[in-house]
Amino acid sequence: MTALANPTDSPATNPSTGPSTNPSTGPSTGTHRPGKAAVRTGWVLSGLVALFLLVDAGAKLALVPMAVQGSVVLGFPEHTVFAMGVLLLAGVVLYLVPRTSAFGAVFTTAYLGGAVCAQVRVEAELLGFVLFPVYVAVLLWLGLYLRSAALRTLVRTGY
């Protein structure tokens, strides 16, 4: 919650003045501070997404036959499955720690981009399979947006 005490966390920049606008150094107005309900919803959403991804990562790390089989069917060599689990686990842990959440979200987005890619290659069904990792990514970012003042500020000031 250190961001709440940071005076630079809520610049009252008007986005309509365009990208050349310098972030204002005005007093903290708290405009980008998420409310309690938003923070709670954000954590619930983040927790659900993290749980789902941790199951995926754990199954790959433990080389659970079903997970290995799933990856092999998608064309991945069996010995790459463990490394995938490690990378995903790293992303999720970074996502759960507030100070590194945004980096973790970017990291996990790259992983999910890889998942889309794997589905595209085998010409899986679009809405149910190819776009599934995209739905996860949308929830991942939405969960972070709801709980993070810094991400809100970034989205609203833009540049």
Tokens representing 67 are 């997970």
Is residue 59 close enough to count as binding other proteins by CB under 8 A? no
Nearest-angstrom CA–CA distance, 58 and 146? 27
Q: Do 130 and 15 contact (CB within 8 A), yes or no?
A: no
Please, what is the Cα angle at 81 between 80 and 86, to 5 degrees? 100
Query: Which residue lies nearer to other proteins by CB, 59 or 130?
Result: 130
We find the least distance from the C-beta atom of residue 127 to other proteins, in angstroms, to be 15
Nearest-angstrom CA–CA distance, 8 and 32? 11
Which residue in the set 26, 27, 30, 113 belongs to the binding site for other proteins (CB under 8 A)?
A: 113
Which residue in the set 57, 60, 111, 145 belongs to the binding site for other proteins (CB under 8 A)?
A: 111
Is residue 8 close enough to count as binding other proteins by CB under 8 A? yes
Q: What letter represents residue 61's amino acid?
A: L
Q: How long, in residues, is the chain?
A: 159
User: DSSP alpha helices (H): ranges in the chain?
Assistant: 2-5, 36-61, 65-73, 81-96, 101-121, 132-147, 149-157
Which residue in the set 40, 78, 99, 135 belongs to the binding site for other proteins (CB under 8 A)?
A: 99
Is residue 3 close enough to count as binding other proteins by CB under 8 A? yes
Question: CA of 37: how far to CAs of 93, 122, 150, 155, in Å?
Answer: 24, 41, 17, 19
Query: Which residue lies nearer to other proteins by CB, 65 or 75?
Result: 75
Site for other proteins in 115-154 (CB under 8 A): 115-118, 120-121, 123, 137, 141, 148-151, 153-154
Residues of this chain that interact with other proteins (CB under 8 A) are: 2-3, 6-9, 15, 18-23, 25, 74-77, 80, 84, 98-102, 106, 109-118, 120-121, 123, 137, 141, 148-151, 153-155, 157-159
